[in-house]
Structure 1
Amino acid sequence: MEFDALATALAIIKKDWSVLSSRIHTAEHDIVTNHKHLNLRLHYPALRDAQATVEELVRTIALYLTHFSLPRKQVEAIYATQETMKTAFERHQAISRLEQEARSLFIRARKSSQRTGEAGELLLYLLTEWLLDAPQIIAKMSLKTNAQMPVYGFDGIHVRFDAKTNRLVLFSGEAKLHSDITKAIASAVTSIKTGLSREKMQHEIELVQRHIDFSGLDETARTALLRYLDPFDEAYNNRLEVVTCLIGFDFTGYARLSPDELEDLDTNFKTSATAKLREVGPIFAKALTDAGLANQRVELFLFPVPSVSVLRDLFQNQIGWTRD
């Protein structure tokens, strides 16, 4: 019964992300590599008039800052009190405070970590929830600015439950934005290998155990989920660990788009982007194998953009980062 409750609870907290399909397009393909546990996915900003709609993409994903960076329990508590608020202004104020807190977390996390990849983390969060049907279970961004709580390892923690097999899939995310895809791959594989070390994975599990009360799951569902993290419970043996990885990189294929070919715009772009995936897929697979990760399950989201630098600047401006 506990496992039924977990399946029900996860279904409740999942959201309908299909609205993102107007901003993030998918290129279907049949490319596989000799890494049998690597799944290649190809996505890109929607095209309009032979241009990638990167600015529109940034404005859209920024709307989900609150859900990504704050604990679900905190966000849902505000939503639950909306009906008791007397005026529309009060309701607007409550939501605005959440948004301000989320933006502040991003800025503080950047200053403390010296990282500028949070746009990639947000994209990976959305793709994981949307396409892998796996809700985020711990908002790590809300922990990154706590000096008393060292938060390293993967960028995100998501879960999916298969009720037919009573199997829990634990997704650990890693996002890399780099103008040079070769360097992005090398950096991603290094981070994945480090994150999968016994010490780092134990840290990830402990984060879930310590902060699961903020997940938005009810007590029965939380108890069931924790059984999969307890080595003294039989359910522990029915847990799968999967790495999700987003690699954003500069892609010259956008420069070859022509306003004279609007009818075939997406088709032509998908052809060139798929050719790039056919080239780099085996490189990523080899890098995983060379790193001793031949048996690691990996979902790779390849995300070509006209310019990683522009994407990063647009995102920082959207959420109010000031350039140092």
Structure 2
Amino acid sequence: MGESKDGLEKLEADLAALRDQVQLSNYVALTTSSADPSQPATSLMHVRLQENIANVQSLARYLWSRTANYALSRKRRLEFAAEQAALPPGDMSVSLSIAEAARDAFLEFNERYPHRSSEVGEVLAYCIAIEQLGAAQLAAKMSLKTNSNMPVHGLDGIHAAVEGGWLVIYFLESKLSKTANGGAADFAESVADFASNKKQYRREYSIVRDLGNLDTLDEESRKIALRYFDVMASPDDVPKRERYVGVVLYSDDKLFKDLPPVNSQQHPGFHEKELAAIYSQELEHHQNAAMKHLTDRGADPNKCIVYFVVVPDTNEVRELFYGAMGHVPKQIQS
């Protein structure tokens, strides 16, 4: 037991070291969260405002700025860092290579699957997993998706953290939708499909073990980590929980248009507080919708966490995201 505890503490430190830094809260505000133990655990978030206007452009640009960390493997990022360190002071030429590598990963995926230009949601989910759950990314799924030998389907992300004596593995699914209800339904379908697909389940664990970010750990740390990420490990030896995380980015233009008009007497943050007061009233509805869809699909809502992120128009965010990299997807679908 002592050996297991020491191993878990070592893994906790290693995962903390692998966890990237994000500042998503500067661009997306947490409005409210459901009270435990109501299920599924549900949070409402909204794009932040510039006075009374949804600041979607800043959000899209920020998400684009996170794409190198999201899309490139930890090993490749460390190689870029070593190249940068070897350059003379002031030489930033490696920065261009990093930006091109991230851009190429997204463009290659979009060229092969133009109908799936929704990676902005995946980057958003990556940021939420780090900031809200404190969980490190275990594998750069975007770089794997551009590999012709890897299936395009599967989870959008795999993260993990050590909490209360458990290794908690988070399976991420991002959904872009016209409505919260539609996004919840899509998430429930993905959870049910993944939970019933044992082959895909084992493949995701194999990705973490063989192709993930654990390969940058030292030999001792990697050995410990691999034991915890062994799908066949004994539950008594490896206390492990799995949770499904849905990030639903959806549109509600009316919510933003119904804010009070601007006047000179309003204090800073006035419109965000007004928006939060109105939006928080949707928590019960959104949680119930997620509960219904998960239950209908035979998924376990007790193992699910849902983040609803509202913007005026998801297509605008998606287009701005690709615009930040200098590209417009061939095909945009709602």
Pick from 36, 48, 51: which aligns with 1:49?
51
Q: Secondary structure at the match of 2:224?
A: helix
Pick from 268, 271, 274: which aligns with 1:265?
271
Corresponding position of 1:193: 192
Q: TM-score, normalised by structure 2?
A: 0.88
Q: Secondary structure at the match of 1:293?
A: coil
Q: TM-score, normalised by structure 1?
A: 0.91
Structure 1 residue 276: Cα displacement: 2.2
Structure 1 residue 217: Cα displacement: 2.4
Change (3 A) 1:295 1:180: closer
C-alpha distance in structure 1 between counterparts of 2:13 and 2:37, whole Å: 36
C-alpha distance in structure 1 between counterparts of 2:131 and 2:99, whole Å: 21
Structure 1 residue 132: Cα displacement: 0.4
Q: Which moved more, 1:276-285 or 1:293-302?
A: 293-302
Kindly provide the CA deviation profile for residues 91-111 of structure 1, in whole angstroms up to 9, marking residues without a partner as x: x21122111111111111122
Q: Where do 5+ consecutive residues of structure 2 fail to align?
A: 1-5
Structure 1 residue 73: Cα displacement: 1.6
Pick from 309, 314, 330: which aligns with 1:308?
314
Change (3 A) 1:56 1:212: closer
Q: Which amino acid aligns with 2:120?
A: A
The within-5 A match list for 1:1-324 is: 1-17=6-22, 19-30=23-34, 35=39, 38-89=40-91, 92-113=92-113, 114-162=115-163, 165=165, 167-197=166-196, 198-212=198-212, 215-230=215-230, 231-233=232-234, 237-251=238-252, 252-260=254-262, 262-263=266-267, 264-294=270-300, 296-324=302-330
The alignment-based identity, stated in percent, is 24
Change (3 A) 1:223 1:214: closer
C-alpha distance in structure 2 between counterparts of 1:157 and 1:278, whole Å: 28
Q: Where do 5+ consecutive residues of structure 1 fail to align?
A: none
Structure 1 residue 285: Cα displacement: 0.8
Q: Which moved more, 1:132-141 or 1:95-104?
A: 95-104
Q: Secondary structure at the match of 2:105?
A: helix
C-alpha distance in structure 2 between counterparts of 1:235 and 1:71, whole Å: 32
Q: Which amino acid aligns with 1:80?
A: A
Corresponding position of 2:3: none
RMSD: 2.1
Q: Secondary structure at the match of 1:196?
A: helix
User: How many positions carry a matched residue from both structures?
Assistant: 317
Structure 1 residue 88: Cα displacement: 2.0
Change (3 A) 1:305 1:86: same
C-alpha distance in structure 1 between counterparts of 2:237 and 2:144, whole Å: 26
Kindly provide the CA deviation profile for residues 35-75 of structure 1, in whole angstroms up to 9, marking residues without a partner as x: 3xx21111111112211100011111111110000001211
